[in-house]
Amino acid sequence: MGCDLDETWEWEVTQFHKNQNQSMTICLHSFADLSHVSPPAFIYLLRECYLYGTQKATPKFKILQQQVARALHNSPQPGPFTFVAECMYIIPLLGPTYAEGFSHMLLSSLRHFRPLESTHADFSNSKRVAASLFFNILSGDVFHEERILRKIMEAYDLEINDISLGRDSEEALGQICKFISKFIESGSFLTAVTLIERFSVRAVDESLLERLIESSEYNAAEKLAAFMGQSMVCSLIRKYLALKMVKKAYELVKRHDLRQEFPFVSREYKESVLKKFAEKGCWDLAEVRAQQDDKLLEYLVYLALEAGYTEKVDELCERYSLEGYVNSLVSEEITPGEDFLDLKKLSLEEIVWVDDIEKLLEATKYIEGCKIVGVDCEWKPNYEKGSKPSKVSIIQIASEKRAFIFDLIKLYEEKPLMLDSCFRRILCSSHILKLGYNLQCDLHQLSHSYGVLECFRSYEMLLDIQKLFKQTPGGLAGLSKKVLGAALNKTRRNSNWEQRPLSLQQKEYAALDAAVLVHIFHHVRGQPHFGSVEGCKVEWKSHIVSIFPKSPIRLPKFYSIRLY
């Protein structure tokens, strides 16, 4: 610019207030000659650009960050590194609203200049300003968040020689150790470990590692161990294993190539993954993980047998010829580890599979005569990220004594109008209390699967059992155990619900999921004071809801069909 600083300042400020469009205000200064713009003026302009930007905070910040990186190419004096270090003294004066974001923006922009030969001299000269800033932050004379302090060390690659500032390096290191102790005492472990690593402080023992683990500061613990060497890494792995943190132990073993020192960790980790999949009912995923490894396949069979999932045991044995392994397990009398609900315990007398019009009409007539029913849905799990969710395959509706499982896929393909008519009579009845668990999920999935049907758009007399209780671990299975004394076996939850015919065990699982809702409701309502079961809310009637679409439903002609 060919004018002096005061004229430049006055002109730029005037333009900012005349133009409130974000892109215009940024462009007015981002490509200007910064050789006559001081750090305070630049920070002021930065804030003005942010204030007058018209977009939301996140996109506005990203745009501004790009423009700042460009602006720093336009001759800031004496160079971009020194200029930013001087700006870092000014930014805290803007207050916490801007300080951390703007500091991050400027420091991140410097990474574009490190490879440039033209900035090498400025980078070396800027270290003195950055070191002074570093000590001013540590001593509290300049306030920046600890995250920014760590970024300053990284951006300027500060080492012990840089922060000595003409003093003896041992003296500077002693001062750093005092700050490290303060950070440890205050619980700022990551900053303490960053200082230890950055300035090669070796006077550290395992007591700090133990304290980090006790405080769940695992990232800091791993950073410290990696700096101190293999001996401390091995110690950390052993501590993880003692705490049953197999995944973290496995990741460290892999990262530091310690398979010879810990040959068993990989197996333990892989088995723990299979067990988690099995507990969630994700048997297909578990099988994919176990393929090509006979021992893991045997362990998967063991998990299926322990869970009482006999059809999965048979399936795996047939596919991988593991009958001999199963016989050895049976001889050891492997039995399920938990007592689960079954049809006898719930006194459920009959499960009816509904896949044709005659059975649909009979089921509708029976359900219309019930005052309370449980409702649940099942659909095939889809493990492929970003893929279209599967259609709801079946819907279960159960009373205390009888459960109906409706084959939605077949009924929809063959008689969609009759299916719609029957389910409207059930779901829109004001005389039937319909119980569910996490109903919102099921209703959303039904609407998504069969959006052309009116029956899955309107509901009356719905009660989500989940809303009657405070958060219960284990979902419906955990709630069943809490209220009825026995959990539901969820090992078949993620089986293939589109296969036909469904296995007997799948049908029993589906029926129990709906029937247990009725039993939980009766059990809780039967208490002398409703809500005497721990964690249950008292006013259950206030949780009954009806759902109608925002626009009126136009009933098609087929609603004149007589059901009986």
pTM for the structure as a whole: 0.66
**Statement: residue 557 has pLDDT above 50:** no
- The answer to which of 114-118, 262-266, 331-335 has the lowest mean pLDDT is 331-335
Of 343 and 378, the structure prediction assigns the larger pLDDT to 378
The confidence score (pLDDT) of residue 26 equals 44
Of 514 and 542, the structure prediction assigns the larger pLDDT to 514
Q: How far apart are CA 195 and CA 188, in angstroms?
A: 11
The confidence score (pLDDT) of residue 379 equals 93
DSSP string, 404-434: EEEEHHHHHHH-HHHHHHHHHHHHT-SSSEE
Q: Which long-range contacts (CB under 8 A, 24 or more apart) does 29-33 make?
A: 29/71, 30/67, 30/68, 30/70, 30/71, 31/70, 31/71, 31/74, 32/1, 32/71, 32/74, 33/1, 33/74, 33/75
Which amino acid belongs to residue 525?
R
Instruction: Please report where in the chains the tokens 């059809």 appear, as a residue.
Output: 311
Q: How far apart are CA 27 and CA 24, in angstroms?
A: 5
Name beta bridge partners: 353. 405
pLDDT band at 259 (very low <50, low <70, confident <90, very high): very high
Q: What percent of the chain has pLDDT over 70?
A: 87
User: Which whole number is the average pLDDT over 417-432?
Assistant: 95
The confidence score (pLDDT) of residue 471 equals 67
pLDDT band at 509 (very low <50, low <70, confident <90, very high): very high
pLDDT band at 212 (very low <50, low <70, confident <90, very high): very high
Ranked by mean pLDDT, the top range of 283-297, 325-339, 425-439, 470-484 is: 425-439
Q: How far apart are CA 478 and CA 488, in angstroms?
A: 8
The confidence score (pLDDT) of residue 460 equals 94
Half-sphere exposure of 555 (CA within 13 A, CB side): 10
Name beta bridge partners: 464. 436
User: Which whole number is the average pLDDT over 58-64?
Assistant: 82
Q: How far apart are CA 246 and CA 241, in angstroms?
A: 6
pLDDT band at 538 (very low <50, low <70, confident <90, very high): low
The confidence score (pLDDT) of residue 527 equals 58
User: Which whole number is the average pLDDT over 106-115?
Assistant: 90
Average pLDDT for the chain: 85
- The answer to which of 35-49, 228-242, 265-279 has the lowest mean pLDDT is 35-49
β-strand 402-407 against 433-436: which pairing, if any?
A: unpaired
- The answer to which of 212-216, 270-274, 288-292, 356-360 has the lowest mean pLDDT is 288-292
**Statement: residue 65 has pLDDT above 90:** no
The confidence score (pLDDT) of residue 180 equals 94
- The answer to which of 21-35, 102-116, 474-488 has the lowest mean pLDDT is 21-35
Element (H, E) at 403: strand 402-407
User: Which whole number is the average pLDDT over 359-372?
Assistant: 97
**Statement: residue 30 has pLDDT above 70:** no
pLDDT band at 337 (very low <50, low <70, confident <90, very high): low
